[in-house]
């Protein structure tokens, strides 16, 4: 059974999509979508041999090799422009890695596919990249599964310039508008982490002024968001 997290991601994949799932591991997401006949074609990209073989095996076991092409490649190198991919999913990695994958594969985004991204941490890095690269976030989600809190962002290419505020880049514009229980829980936890870091910093020989100023700024942003 697919995780609640990937099930949620799946709801943002357009019907009839030609998708590339980068860092696909077992290819669970494209397999699920192909079984629902939600997609026309998928590339399951993996850079590591083990997960690549897992994905191949899963796709063959499900008899879906005619829909899902499993490719061993680093990031968006798995994609060719002729594949006419219109949805790219990158899930279950840190935000900085997702950003680096997008950034080093920019030329593979020429057809301006929808991006559905699910960073485990460092969501802000992803939002900054999207904004700098003419991708507008059109929806966001936050959910909890097995004691982890996950964010999902959906972005579409735009010719306009978007200008998110510091708070919107950190929290997510849509998540900030809704402030649901999971959102509140996530940021309450972050406040607790900040307090722990403060305790540790107090033990430092020299007062790390800059670090403390950063924490103050972060804390006031979070408190502002939770009000």
**Binding segment toward ligand SAM, per CB under 6 A, in 86-94, 131-139, 144-152, 200-208:** 86-94
Interaction residues for ligand SAM, span 4-33 (CB under 6 A): 6, 22-25
* Total residues at interface with ligand SAM (CB under 6 A): 17
The dihedral through the CA atoms of 195, 201, 207, 211 has a sign that is negative
Least CB distance from residue 225 to ligand SAM, whole Å?
Answer: 26
Candidates 2, 47, 215, 218: give the one binding ligand SAM (CB under 6 A). Answer: 47
Give yes or no for residue 95 binding ligand SAM (CB under 6 A). Answer: no
Candidates 20, 42, 67, 91: give the one binding ligand SAM (CB under 6 A). Answer: 91
Give yes or no for residue 53 binding ligand SAM (CB under 6 A). Answer: no
Least CB distance from residue 132 to ligand SAM, whole Å?
Answer: 20
Nearest to 13 by CA among 38, 32, 37, 36: 38
Tokens 């190198």 -> residue: 77
Binding site for ligand SAM (CB under 6 A): 6, 22-25, 45-48, 51, 74-75, 91-93, 97, 101
């Amino acid at each position: 059974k697919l995780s609640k997290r990937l099930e949620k991601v799946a709801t943002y994949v357009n019907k009839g999509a030609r998708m590339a799932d980068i860092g696909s591991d077992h290819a669970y997401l494209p397999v699920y979508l192909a079984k629902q006949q939600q997609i026309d074609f998928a590339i399951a990209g993996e850079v590591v041999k083990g997960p690549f073989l897992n994905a191949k095996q899963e796709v063959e076991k499900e008899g879906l090799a005619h829909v899902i092409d499993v490719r061993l490649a680093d990031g968006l190198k798995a994609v060719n422009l002729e594949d006419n991919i219109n949805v790219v999913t990158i899930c279950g990695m840190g935000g900085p890695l997702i950003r680096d994958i997008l950034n080093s594969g920019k030329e593979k985004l020429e057809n301006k596919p929808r991006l559905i991204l699910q960073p485990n941490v460092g969501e802000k890095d992803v939002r900054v990249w999207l904004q700098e690269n003419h991708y507008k976030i059109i929806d966001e989600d936050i959910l909890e599964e097995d004691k982890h809190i996950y964010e999902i962002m959906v972005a579409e290419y735009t010719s306009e310039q978007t200008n998110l505020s510091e708070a919107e880049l950190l929290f997510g514009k849509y998540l900030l508008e809704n402030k649901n229980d999971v959102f509140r829980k996530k940021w309450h936890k972050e406040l607790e982490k900040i307090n722990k870091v403060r305790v540790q910093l107090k033990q430092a020989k020299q007062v790390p002024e800059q670090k403390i100023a950063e924490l103050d700024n972060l804390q006031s942003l979070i408190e502002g968001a939770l009000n």
